[in-house]
Amino acid sequence: MTSDAAADAADRDPQPHWLTAEEMRAWLAFRRLRLVLSAEVNRELAKDSGLSEADYDVLSSLSDDVAGVRRLGELADRMLWSRSRLSHHITRMQDRGLVRREEVDGDARGSHIVLTPAGRAALEDAAPNHVASVRRLFIDRMTPEQIRVLGDIGEAVLGPLGEAPE
């Protein structure tokens, strides 16, 4: 039985398949790592640049496009956010001059989100300290082998969910 088939069978089993002590250790470590690391990276990013992690994610997603433009729905899908949540966040970023909305020709409901020069400058100013934080808090604490294994784990878990790591 493949691991996917075993997982599907376990999902249908009416009896709980409790985690072993080692599985629980891994799950709790992952949850804690995700929460603590995200909070610390976000705190340092805000202190260094005035950007939130969400701001940085929007700006970096937009900057991945040469023109710095994405449709709102495409951006929401990339960020795994609802369109409503992203729309509200974009409004706040627009008020700060980091992005702007442009209507999509022929689509009254659609809009493009455009990275402004101020948004690009904010991202470029934030990026060096942000990557230094990610290195110091995360990357530099692992061996090259652990980094490779973590990448493999991400692909193994996210792949069947249709969410390949970007």
**Nearest one of 123, 131, 138 to 49, comparing CA atoms:** 123
Tokens of 165: 């790591």
Edge-first strand order for the sheet with 107-115 is: 69-71, 107-115, 99-104
β-pair type (69-71, 99-104): unpaired
User: In tens digits, what is the pLDDT along the chain, a chain of 166 residues?
Assistant: 456 666 665 566 788 899 999 999 999 999 999 999 999 999 999 999 999 999 999 999 999 989 999 999 999 999 999 999 999 999 999 999 999 999 887 776 779 999 999 999 999 999 999 999 999 999 999 999 999 999 999 999 988 887 655 5
Helix (H, G, I), strand (E, B) or coil at 70: strand
**Strand runs labelled E in 95-158:** 99-104, 107-115
Return the pLDDT at 3.
62
- Calculate the alpha carbon distances from 111 to 55, 72, 123 in Å: 18, 6, 22
